[in-house]
């Protein structure tokens, strides 16, 4: 069966919602979310959104900080475009009903309380207490649900993109996206859904690692689908590990925000000794790649399971007032931010690479856009600076929306697509194979393609991804697909892209550190893979 909509948005986070709200007065928009629409990485973002609003700050300073954090691989044009749009993105959120935490310091001159995070030379991070992502997501979702032209479908998983391989009339011979095959998770039914334009807003791929701060849905679906459809991907070797995830067997995916270090929290060894000053003059406020590697180094050097984050030297009322949600969650696990150090470890957090796009989110395939963490826009380079990611979601969500609006009648609705064919497959009686491969992939990616890499580890990982991809493809071809199999297929594809990209980069830069090539090349370039 073929379903139709004017604009299909795959993903219900900040990027997809901001695009939908930008175009909904003119187009019918269908948003599909493979979980509850309120789930996902946006809602988990604690820190905030970076924008140059304060007296004494400037767009130029924010640009320079971003370029430095990106370790020589940012696209200056992208950086300038996104940072310059920062104030407009904040105005958009305020218009959507987001109530940022107010400021009390008269010298700030912005009306907001601005905090500082790693890599930033100024206080410029707007926040809603310590749950900014949740506040942003709730406001955008509320307005999307109210809009008569936006339809939200939950528990629906995109399987693959539908493309027309024939040359199109623009004369460039580009492939054309006509929609996607979508599974209703509860029933397992798969329908073709065609659209004038399709938008990938599926987030990142950090679930490919054993330890991650991301929700379970971060399985690289959009990156894998775009790759299979013929899109280039770039810089997949740059996986950001958040330095401070709570170390507790039951504290799944819980971060201790970088804003804690922005407000004076120290990283310490078990004996209370600070160590970050040995690695970088900025100490705890160094970029995340530096902090994560320093923690990894100390844990391996001393045989530690974790290090500690300590803000207990600050006034208890200040801590509870600025970090109420983190304070409450830590208490649930038996830790008190106001009285002592909290155990932390690094965890896979953000995918800096992704589907190659231009400044409007367009991909290599006509009528296919990629926005948010799924995309590689050139903003982050070799290392994402804290609180630039929500900003990127908003700026590119609106930019892609404006491009769709400008194209208007250039986007005719496709006809019906070939139905999903299950005539030659059977139900699997070996789901244990999927479960086993899922765990094997995430474990060897953590062990061999983690914070510190070597050629030998990467080559071992490549042999294993090759083997897994063969097994998964055989399973996929013979058995009726399930959500677990589809996510495993996507994770294995993304894992392979990460390993291949890491093997191609023969230097250490930003988030990619290898002991075989500890130096840096004089003229670095992006790692671009072509299907």
Give me the helices (H) in 24-113, please: 59-69, 76-84, 86-96
410: Cβ contacts below 8 Å, ≥ 6 apart: none
CA distance 376 to 275: 33
Q: Is 134 in the active site?
A: no
524 three-state secondary structure: coil
The position carrying tokens 């190659």 is: 356
Q: Which helix (H) or strand (E) holds 125?
A: strand 125-126
Among 240, 258, 214, smallest CA distance to 40 is for 214
Q: What is the DSSP letter of 271?
A: T
Reduced DSSP (H G I as helix, E B as strand, rest coil) percent helix, strand, coil of the chain, to 5: 40, 20, 40
Q: Are 160 and 228 in contact (CB under 8 A)?
A: yes
CA distance 428 to 479: 5
Q: How many helices and strands (H and E) does the chain possess?
A: 14, 20
CA distance 392 to 13: 12
Among 54, 134, 261, 288, which one carries the catalytic annotation?
Answer: 288
Q: What is the DSSP letter of 408?
A: G
CA distance 110 to 197: 38
**Taking the alpha carbons of 95, 96, 100, 102 in that order, is the dihedral positive or negative?**
positive
Q: In the sheet where 176-184 sits, what is the strand order?
A: 2-4, 190-194, 176-184, 156-164
Residues in the chain: 531
Q: In the sheet where 49-50 sits, what is the strand order?
A: 49-50, 125-126, 114-115
Maximum C-alpha span of the chain: 70
The catalytic residue positions are 288
């Amino acid at each position: 069966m073929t379903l139709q909509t004017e604009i299909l948005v795959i993903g219900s986070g900040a990027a997809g919602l901001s695009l939908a709200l930008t175009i909904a007065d003119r187009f019918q928009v269908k948003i599909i979310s493979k979980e509850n629409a309120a789930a996902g990485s946006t809602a988990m973002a604690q820190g905030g959104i970076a924008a140059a609003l304060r007296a004494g700050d400037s767009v130029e300073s924010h640009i320079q900080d971003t370029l430095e954090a990106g370790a020589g691989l940012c696209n200056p044009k992208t950086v300038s475009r996104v940072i310059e749009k920062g104030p407009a993105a904040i105005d958009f959120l305020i218009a959507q009903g987001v109530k940022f935490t107010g400021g009390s310091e008269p010298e700030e001159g912005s009306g907001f309380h601005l905090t500082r995070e790693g890599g930033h030379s100024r206080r410029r991070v707007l926040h809603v207490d310590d749950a900014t992502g949740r506040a942003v997501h709730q406001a955008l979702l509320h307005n999307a649900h109210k809009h008569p032209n936006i339809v939200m479908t939950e528990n629906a998983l995109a399987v693959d993109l539908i493309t027309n391989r024939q040359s199109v009339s623009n004369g460039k011979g580009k492939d054309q996206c006509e929609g996607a095959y979508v599974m209703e998770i509860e029933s397992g039914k798969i329908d073709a859904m065609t659209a004038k334009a399709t938008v990938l807003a599926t987030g990142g791929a950090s679930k490919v690692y054993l330890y991650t701060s991301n929700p379970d849905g971060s399985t690289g679906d959009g990156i894998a689908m775009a790759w299979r459809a013929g899109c280039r991907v770039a810089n997949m070797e740059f996986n950001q590990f958040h330095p401070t995830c709570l170390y507790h067997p039951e504290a799944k995916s819980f971060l201790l925000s970088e804003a804690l270090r922005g407000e004076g929290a120290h990283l310490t060894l078990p004996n209370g000794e600070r160590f970050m000053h040995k690695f970088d003059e900025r100490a705890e406020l160094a970029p995340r790649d530096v902090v994560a590697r320093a923690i990894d180094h100390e844990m391996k050097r001393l045989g530690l399971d974790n290090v500690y984050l300590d803000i207990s030297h600050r006034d208890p009322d200040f801590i509870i007032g600025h970090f109420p949600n983190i304070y409450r969650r830590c208490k649930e696990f038996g830790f008190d931010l106001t009285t002592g150090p909290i155990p932390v470890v690094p965890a896979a957090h953000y995918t800096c690479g992704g589907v190659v796009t231009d400044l409007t989110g367009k991909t290599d395939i006509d009528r296919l856009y990629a926005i948010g963490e799924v995309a590689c826009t050139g903003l982050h380079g070799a290392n994402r600076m804290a609180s630039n990611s929500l900003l990127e979601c908003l700026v590119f969500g609106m930019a892609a929306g404006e491009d769709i609006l400008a194209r208007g009648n250039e986007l005719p609705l496709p006809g019906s697509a070939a139905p999903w064919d299950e005539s030659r497959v059977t139900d699997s009686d070996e789901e244990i194979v999927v479960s086993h491969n899922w765990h094997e992939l995430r474990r060897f990616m953590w062990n061999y393609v983690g914070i510190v890499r070597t050629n030998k580890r990467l080559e071992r990982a490549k042999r294993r991804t090759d083997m897994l991809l063969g097994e998964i493809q055989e399973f996929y071809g013979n058995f009726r697909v399930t959500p677990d199999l589809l996510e495993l297929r996507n994770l294995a594809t993304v894992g392979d892209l990460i390993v291949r990209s890491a093997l191609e980069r023969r230097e250490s830069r930003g988030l990619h550190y290898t002991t075989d090539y500890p130096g840096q090349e004089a003229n670095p370039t992006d790692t671009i893979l072509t299907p």
